């Protein structure tokens, strides 16, 4: 099985059509792949920020409150982490959220890749939802790995080969519709 990083890297290097294929192939895992990578990015950023903060204060370990004033390190951390997740998901790194981070360009680039994955997955779901109810139910069960081709053939009372054709036809149609949407959208980016 491919690692999350490998899937994301393949996606980043893929053509529009191949991106749609990747979303289809890893459909049940896409949310988990995206969420796991965002969690890892948050951890990496937080740890680097903390390391830099300790270095700035000349600390060797955990800092103890030394002045009179209100301090809520746990609340500050929770707030920062929530803002960080939102920044990654929305690709909005305004303010100082990545200040002092060594590879901030790489983080921003990966955030855009993850955002693109989320958007294409959402498009995929919408296109699947547009299918006639029987096709939609079968294809969703196939995508979510609730039914394999043998199960589909059995439930529809058709031969295995016909089930393969049926799923291939639906997949091809969904892919074509999404690819057309993406091609039209990419033609309009930056135009007025």
Count of domains for the chain: 1
For the chain, give percent helix, strand, coil, nearest 5: 75, 0, 25
pLDDT of residue 96: 81
Q: Are 116 and 14 in contact (CB under 8 A)?
A: no
Per-residue pLDDT tens, the chain, 192 aa: give them.
688 889 999 999 999 899 999 999 999 999 999 999 999 999 989 888 888 777 766 655 555 555 555 555 666 677 777 788 888 999 998 888 888 888 889 999 999 999 999 999 999 999 999 998 899 999 999 999 999 999 999 999 999 999 999 999 999 999 999 999 988 876 655 444
| pLDDT confidence of residue 95 | 80
Tell me how crowded residue 191 is: count the other CB atoms within 10 A of its CB. Answer: 5
Q: How many CB atoms lie within 10 A of CB 89?
A: 15
The pLDDT assigned to 183 comes to 86
Given a contact cutoff of 8 angstroms between Cβ atoms, the answer to whether 92 and 41 are in contact is no
Identify which of 69, 63, 107 has the alpha carbon closest to the alpha carbon of residue 85. 107
Cα distances (Å, whole numbers) of residue 113 to 4, 10, 11, 171: 13, 11, 8, 23
Residue 59, domain extent = 4-188
pLDDT at 140 (0 to 100): 94
């Amino acid at each position: 099985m491919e690692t999350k990083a490998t899937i994301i890297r393949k996606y980043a290097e893929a053509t529009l059509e191949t991106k749609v294929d990747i979303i289809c192939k890893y459909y049940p895992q896409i949310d988990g792949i995206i969420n796991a990578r965002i969690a890892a990015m948050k951890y990496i950023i937080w740890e680097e920020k903390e390391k830099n903060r300790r270095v700035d204060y000349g600390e060797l370990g955990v800092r103890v409150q030394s002045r009179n004033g209100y301090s809520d390190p746990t609340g500050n951390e929770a707030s920062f982490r929530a803002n960080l997740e939102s920044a990654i998901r929305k690709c909005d790194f305004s303010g100082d959220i990545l200040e002092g981070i060594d590879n901030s360009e790489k983080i921003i680039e990966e955030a855009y890749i993850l955002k693109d994955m989320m958007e294409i997955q959402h498009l995929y779901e919408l296109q699947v939802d547009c299918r006639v109810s029987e096709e939609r139910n079968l294809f969703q069960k196939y995508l979510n790995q609730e039914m394999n081709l043998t199960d589909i053939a059995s439930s529809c009372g058709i031969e295995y080969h016909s089930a393969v054709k049926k799923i291939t036809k639906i997949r091809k149609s969904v892919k074509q519709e999404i690819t057309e949407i993406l091609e039209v959208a990419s033609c309009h980016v930056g135009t007025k």
